[in-house]
Amino acid sequence: MFARAATVCAALLMLGGAAWGNGRNAATISVVSSGADIFVGATYGGVLSRDGGRSFGWICEDALGYGGPYDPELTIGPGGVLMATTFTGLARSEDHGCSWGNAQGDLAGHAVSGIALAGGSAVVAVTASGGRTNGIFRSTDGGRTFTAVAGTARAADLWTSVRASAGGQRVYASSYTTAPPSTTLWVSTDAGQSFNPIAFAPGGASDYRLLGVDRSDPMVLWARTTDDFTSNDRILRSGNGGTSFTSVFTTTEVVTQLAQSGTTTLLSTRPSGIARAPDGIAFTTVPGPHVIGIAPEGATGLLGCTSDPLDGHSLARSTDQATSWTPIYRQRNLAGVIDCPAGAVASWLAGAPAGSRETRALCTPQWSIVALQLGVVPPDDAGLPDAAPPDAPSPDAAQIDDGGDGCGCRTGAGGGKSIAPLLALLALLLCRGTSGRRRRAGSSGR
């Protein structure tokens, strides 16, 4: 455990990135896509492209409905509905990120810990609220309203993850019972309308997470848990619908997301990169950029969250199963708050605008500070050709987009002295207080 913490702290010290208000360096963490929409989770809020990655706009944490060192799990539902898990509900936007509101019904006010699309307009969510009875919740209207699934409410349980097959008919969820410690796998064969529990052999693994279901075989799924003694992440695979699992990969890093490209399965790991298995079983590490979040783009493409200071970009695309990557987003090229009409409201909410959050109104006052921290450049210098290739030497510390696990904050160009030593000292002080691995609260690889 302490070795893992030391590794992450060492990476922080080497990067020397500027810290944000929540104590973390600027970084892209997770990514999802659907059609021309690319939705990226970052330590500075959401980053959204509506044109297939040609341009990106910013959505602040206040609009999404959360704050602090939290990373939501993101998804894009039918019709391009954006969704993000938060401690106070499931945030949704039906107007391409311009306004937001929380899902209603039995899910309202819950800490949502996972979300999955179950085919058509069905959405399944799980919760991990303190002081409330948690369970599985299902929506049949694209996530607007949810109803508790009968037989899944458990007062002593925290639900940790949920994943669905490609068609959405088969849905898997995991829950953790605090006393006595135990983990349960739940399986649905009717698109989340009902679930049956399966006892899970590893026992009390509170950080057990489902990573994904095979695109072509709904009986095959992968999960992540942590070894109690070494703190290493273990990847488990089931070929029989969750009845039994086999350990197929172990790493000292934190596994964040799983994606498939064709028949190849890939894992993103923090802080270094990815592992790949053509058969979904025999994983080997892949050289290249520091891909710490990964998601499919169509049937064969991939999107990866990368490291601005180390790779020269914060998001890249691969069309050859992670053999090579093309940069599509660099944090200094962020175009500002996403383009929205004034006065946008979440009209699907009863009583809107009272129940809605307008992105433009909440985020515009914050943009100047964010732009400064990200090193955003003028539009005439916003192209990507000058992005450093993965094997290029690192530029001077005063010029780079200096950041943390995924992307960073530019410290400024010309004039003045580099603040990297001071930032490194700050990172050292922060790391001294680390007593174990810090887990993500949200993403698919939460």
pLDDT in tens, 266-315: 999 988 889 999 999 999 999 889 999 999 998 889 999 999 999 999 99
pLDDT over threshold 80, residue 218: yes
Q: Are 167 and 214 in contact (CB under 8 A)?
A: no
Domains parsed from the chain with CATH numbers: 2-333 (2.130.10.10)
pTM of the model: 0.82
Average pLDDT over residues 10-26: 52
**DSSP character for 366?**
H
Q: Which two tokens stand for residue 205?
A: 């693994």
Q: Are 30 and 70 in contact (CB under 8 A)?
A: no
Going from the C-alpha of 377 to that of each of 381, 398, 412, 413, the distances in angstroms are 6, 15, 11, 11
pLDDT for res 204: 55
**Averaged pLDDT of the chain:** 82
pLDDT for res 46: 98
Determine the angle formed by the axes of helices 2-15 and 420-432, rounding to 10 degrees: 170
| 3-class SS of residue 274 | strand
In terms of Cα–Cα distance, which of 381, 405, 436, 225 is closest to 309?
405
Please give the single-letter amino acid code of residue 23. Answer: G
pLDDT per position as a tens digit, 337-353: 999 999 999 999 998 99
Weakest-pLDDT range from 18-27, 157-166, 436-445: 436-445
Band the pLDDT of 377: cuts 50, 70, 90.
low
**DSSP character for 272?**
S
Average pLDDT over residues 251-260: 93
Distance CA 276, CA 147 (A): 38
Distance CA 117, CA 371 (A): 34
Distance CA 296, CA 166 (A): 12
Alpha carbons within 13 angstroms on the beta-carbon side of residue 361 total 10
Q: Please, where are the H alpha helices in 28-178?
A: 61-64
Q: Which two tokens stand for residue 279?
A: 């058969």
Instruction: Give the residue, 59 or 179, on which the prediction is more confident.
Output: 59
Distance CA 195, CA 106 (A): 17
Q: Strand order of the sheet with strand 74-76?
A: 74-76, 82-86, 89-93, 99-102, 357-358
pLDDT for res 97: 98
